[in-house]
Amino acid sequence: MIDVARIRNDFPILSRRVNGKPLVYLDNAATTQKPNAVIDALTHYYRNTNANIHRGVHTLAAEAERDYDAARAKVARFINAPQESSVIFTRNTTEAVNLAAYGWAREFLKPGDEIIVTVMEHHSNYVPWQLVMQDTGATLKIVDIADDGTLRLDEYAKLITPRTRLVCVTHASNVLGTVNPVRQMADLAHKVDAKILVDGAQAAPHMPVDVQGLDCDFYAFSAHKMLGPTGIGVLYGKDEVLRTMRPFLAGGDMIREVKRDTSSWNVLPYKYEAGTPNIADTIAFGTAIDYLNGVGMPEVRAHEIEITRYVLDTLSHFRGLTIYGPRDAAARGGTVSFNLDGIHPHDLGTVLDHAGIAIRAGHHCAQPLMRRLGCVATARASFYLYNTREEVDALAEALREAQALFKRTGTPQKTGIS
Ligand code: PLP
């Protein structure tokens, strides 16, 4: 088991107070807090080694480049990529998915081709495919969920046809917490020669990820959801796939030679990293990975299963509380969405904030899923390696108080939530 008290000491923000109460930070699916090591890596870079990379002949440039390249190597090892050149740095998951949509899908899809997505996708892994559909004439098929919030694998198997060219699926849902059977889905996709893109935004931070074991063609994730800075993300791609794609952004660094009317491209990964990269945040991302490795990803996962089990158990005793997503903590991530009868999630979020508790309320960039669940919004508490059982108790206590408050004031719900 991990030493949560010791871990909490590494996160300065966790000792602050909000509205006079100790901060209880349960908005980790949106973004995570940063340990001192990551904050220090950023300031160390700007104080000591700040320089542009790739063309520099001076010491600072060499040091910055060394640290930047080291971060790529750390990411590659973290996800068990077969080579570092399969790790493309982007701004975030959203840009990573768009890179695949522009570089691969727009290049290779044609009218009649089919893309399969799931109804639980974040808009980042949904809207790019709508645009691909409009631009290429490909069509979109959507896999439904069962009522327990798990993916309908039986339906997925039926939707796959020889026309399927691409499957896009989230590894872990940012609303339901559901962890999807990506390897099984990849095997079915590859049987018909389709590619599979996995949105790992809610999985890479929380569990060991092995892109070779998953056999995915693309895997996308964001540093800021795994203790790293904002502004840096990753698209992993299989070497043979990345080689065939068209560049997404054009400019400096991504070229080998520029002639009057045409250019040739740099080797991987630089072909897809045009312009000056986000050097400082990438290096600090490497430090975040060091931190997670220091704790151990199997241990991070075990802690989350344990705390999620406690959350689900605690919330299941509430009257009028609907939990969305699987009830088996071992089959899901630590993101728990719920609604309390008669209280709009935004109102609930505001009341909890007065108690120092940060949760998220809204559609969570998953409107197709909200419609499937029959609601317009949910409250969402999401947990990470520094969260404690005491914080779950604080959440439960604040929910009880909110229920009592709304019962007294009789404030009506603003929107129709089932
Ligand atoms: N995919 C999932 C499942 C997410 O939860 C998120 C963010 O919440 C994203 C994609 C988008 O991540 P980013 O905003 O870092 O691009």
pLDDT tens for 232-245 read: 999 999 999 999 99
Which residues are the active-site residues? 365
Are the CB atoms for 395 and 24 separated by under 8 Å? yes
Long-range contacts of 290-295 (CB under 8 A, 24+ apart): 290/37, 290/74, 291/10, 291/35, 291/37, 291/38, 291/227, 292/78, 292/205, 292/226, 292/227, 293/78, 295/2, 295/7, 295/385
Using a pLDDT cut of 70, give the percent of the chain over it: 98
- For the stretch 78-93, pLDDT in tens is 999 999 999 999 999 9
Q: Which domains does the chain have, with CATH numbers?
A: 4-30+297-409 (3.90.1150.10), 38-293 (3.40.640.10)
Q: Is the pLDDT of residue 328 over 90?
A: yes
Q: Which atom of ligand 1 is nearest to the CA of 93?
A: 16
Between the CA of 122 and the centroid of ligand 1 the distance, in Å, is 7
195-199 vs 164-170, strand pairing mode: parallel
pLDDT of 395 higher than 90: yes
What tokens does 42 get?
A: 């950023």
What would the mean pLDDT of 291-300 be, rounded to a whole number? 98
Best of 222, 285, 360 for a ligand 1 pocket test (most atoms within 8 Å of beta carbon):
222
Average the pLDDT over 136-152 and give the result: 98
Q: How far is the CA of 201 from the centre of ligand 1 (A)?
A: 5
pLDDT surpassing 70 at residue 415: no
Residue 74 has pLDDT above 50, yes or no: yes
Identify the three-state secondary structure at position 397.
helix
User: Which pLDDT band, with edges at 50, 70 and 90, does 54 fall under?
Assistant: confident
Which residue from 365, 367, 378, 380 has its CB within 8 A of the most atoms of ligand 1, so it is best to mutate?
365
**What's residue 111's pLDDT?**
98
Pocket of ligand 1 (CB under 6 A): 29, 92-94, 122, 124-125, 170, 174, 199, 201-202, 222
SS3 content of the chain, % helix, strand, coil (to 5): 45, 20, 35
What percentage of the chain reaches a pLDDT higher than 90?
96
Q: Is the pLDDT of residue 414 over 80?
A: no
The tens digit of pLDDT for each residue in 164-201 reads 999 999 999 999 999 999 999 999 999 999 999 999 99
pLDDT of residue 411: 56
Burial class (CB in 10 A: 0-12, 13-18, 19+), 310: middle
As a whole number, the mean pLDDT across the chain is 96
Q: Is 413's pLDDT higher than 50?
A: no
Contact 125, 97 (CB under 8 A): yes
pLDDT digits (tens, 9 = 90+) for 347-370: 999 999 999 999 999 999 999 999
Q: How far is the CA of 362 from the centre of ligand 1 (A)?
A: 15
Residue nearest to atom 7 of ligand 1 (CA): 30
Residue from 413, 324, 331, 320 nearest 372 by CA: 324
Q: What is the mean pLDDT of residues 57-67?
A: 96
Distance (Å, rounded) from C-alpha 204 to C-alpha 281? 18
Name the residue with the closest Cα to ligand 1, atom 8. 30
The Å distance, Cα 133 to ligand 1 centre, comes to: 21
Question: Taking 70 as the threshold, does the pLDDT of residue 223 lie above it?
Answer: yes
Which of the four pLDDT bands, split at 50, 70 and 90, describes residue 418? very low
Q: Is 352 left (phi over 0), alpha (psi -120 to 50) or beta?
A: alpha
What's this model's pTM, rounded to 2 decimal places? Answer: 0.97
Q: Which atom of ligand 1 is nearest to the CA of 96?
A: 16
Please give the distance, rounded to the nearest whole angstrom, from the Cα atom of residue 365 to the centre of ligand 1: 8
- Out of 123, 202, 367, 378, mutate this one to test ligand 1's pocket (max ligand atoms within 8 Å of CB): namely 202
Q: Given pLDDT bands bounded at 50, 70 and 90, which one contains residue 335?
A: very high
Identify whether 269 is preceded by a cis peptide bond (ω within 30 of 0). Answer: yes
For residue 388 the two structure tokens come to 């404690």
The band of 416, judged by pLDDT with boundaries at 50, 70 and 90, is: very low
Inform me whether the pLDDT recorded for 1 exceeds 90: no
Backbone angles phi, psi at 302, to 5 degrees: -65, -40
> pLDDT tier at 417 (50, 70, 90 boundaries)?
very low
**3-state class (DSSP) for residue 16:** coil
Please report the beta strands in 120-187, taking only residues with DSSP state E, as ranges in sequence order: 139-143, 164-170
Say how far apart CA 27 and CA 190 lie, in whole Å. Answer: 36
